[in-house]
Copies of this chain bind each other. A is one copy, B any other.
Amino acid sequence: MQLKCNKIDLLNGVNTVLKAVSSRTTLPILQCILLQTTDSQLKLIGNDLELGIETKVNARIEENGSIALDARIFSEIVKKLPDNEVTIIVDGNNHTTIKCEKTKFNISGYPGNEFIQLPLIEKNNSFVINQSIFKEMIRQTIFSIALEEIRPVFTGELLEVKNQKFSIVSVDGYRVSTREAEIEEKTDDFKVIVPGKTLNEMHKILSQDEDELITIYYTDKHVLFEIDNTIVVSRLLEGEFPKYDQMFLMDYEIKANVDRKKMIMSLERAALITRENKKNPIKIEIKSNEMIITSNTEIGNVYEEIDIQKEGKEIIIAFNPKYLIDALKVIDDDYVDIQFTNSSNPCIIRKVDGDDFKYLILPIRLSS
């Protein structure tokens, strides 16, 4: 194998596929990136068997071939090379020479055919969405996936198309985060549960550019995301996703319209006093035109007042402040509506008179 390519292009490619290389495995081939020539491009692949990423880099191919190189060492070498043309030469014994200006590295690799290729995904079912919207939808929901694998489906997010609406949902047993968007093209209904790790990596890869599109293909075992020169293949999570939508259908009679940033600041101050003992809830009191947030622990107590617009009756309810702060922080709007029924049912933080985003949070039962 012999080729020449640009250092910046190569670095971008390597950084993209590196996200799918396992750092925890002890199997050397799984710690590698595959380099494989095509007609006029260098194909790079990382694959940890749950998540696989393939991308292509423009290259002048002088001799076809493939090689698997240790991802950590190869990526660090590429990162530190001068910003100039890079030459890669692999001999019959998998010895790899990487040259750039007056720098020359020799490292050993593994035969390309020992590398585990990405699974082949049938491209029967797909839909197309704007990259920047998909990126935003991930950011606004992924924070509430469960980190522990008590129920595996809680460690991923539901991606669902229903009646021309695309929604992403995460659930961790204490809260539900949902974000939805209209889709323009006619699309069949479907449901998949995608691992959180995959969506975290997708969030990094997706463009902010409002004109860039992504195609999402799905089977009953895998999802494939296609962007320009890059494809990301991920195993799906198996199991039944909780029926979260019924929880949004209760009669939420009480509504408070609140300044989002002021509420974050008040909650963060109230949380200072609870940090030592996470069991301490903060108490929220919705009065005529104000929200009163209080917290009382062995460290001391704090009292906060925020002006609000209220509908419905007064209420006292307690929460883990972190859950409220997490949701309020990913929202971009200046004001949000918060809805309540009573002190033992969840609250919903939502877009003012809208359904774009909805965060359901369970309360903590007050002992008194």
Q: Chain A residues in contact with chain B, CB under 8 A?
A: 73, 76-77, 80-82, 102-108, 265-266, 268-269, 272-273, 299-306
Residues of B within 8 A of A80 (CB): 265, 268-269, 272
Residues of B within 8 A of A306 (CB): 102
The answer to whether A302 and B104 touch (CB under 8 A), given A269-B77, A272-B73, is yes
Shortest Cβ distance from residue A260 to the other chain B in the assembled complex, whole angstroms: 16
Quick one: copies of this chain in the complex? 2
A265 to B84, CA, bound (A): 14
The answer to whether A103 touches B266 (Cβ under 8 A) is yes
The answer to whether A102 and B272 touch (CB under 8 A), given A108-B300, A300-B107, is no
Residues of B within 8 A of A300 (CB): 73, 105-108
Which chain B residue has the least Cβ–Cβ distance from A300?
A: B107
The answer to whether A73 touches B299 (Cβ under 8 A) is yes
Shortest Cβ distance from residue A263 to the other chain B in the assembled complex, whole angstroms: 12
Residues of B within 8 A of A303 (CB): 103-104
Residues of B within 8 A of A104 (CB): 302-304
Among A73, A81, A300, the one with the most B-chain Cβ atoms within 10 Å of its Cβ is A300
The answer to whether A304 touches B102 (Cβ under 8 A) is yes
A272 to B76, CA, bound (A): 7
Shortest Cβ distance from residue A79 to the other chain B in the assembled complex, whole angstroms: 9
Residues of B within 8 A of A302 (CB): 103-106
Residues of B within 8 A of A76 (CB): 272
Which chain B residue has the least Cβ–Cβ distance from A103?
A: B304
Which chain B residue has the least Cβ–Cβ distance from A307?
A: B102
The answer to whether A102 and B273 touch (CB under 8 A), given A73-B299, A82-B265, A300-B107, is no
A82 to B268, CA, bound (A): 12
A305 to B176, CA, bound (A): 58
Contact of A301 among B105, B265, B299 (CB under 8 A): B105
Among A80, A105, A108, the one with the most B-chain Cβ atoms within 10 Å of its Cβ is A105
Residues of B within 8 A of A82 (CB): 265
Residues of B within 8 A of A305 (CB): 102
Shortest Cβ distance from residue A77 to the other chain B in the assembled complex, whole angstroms: 6
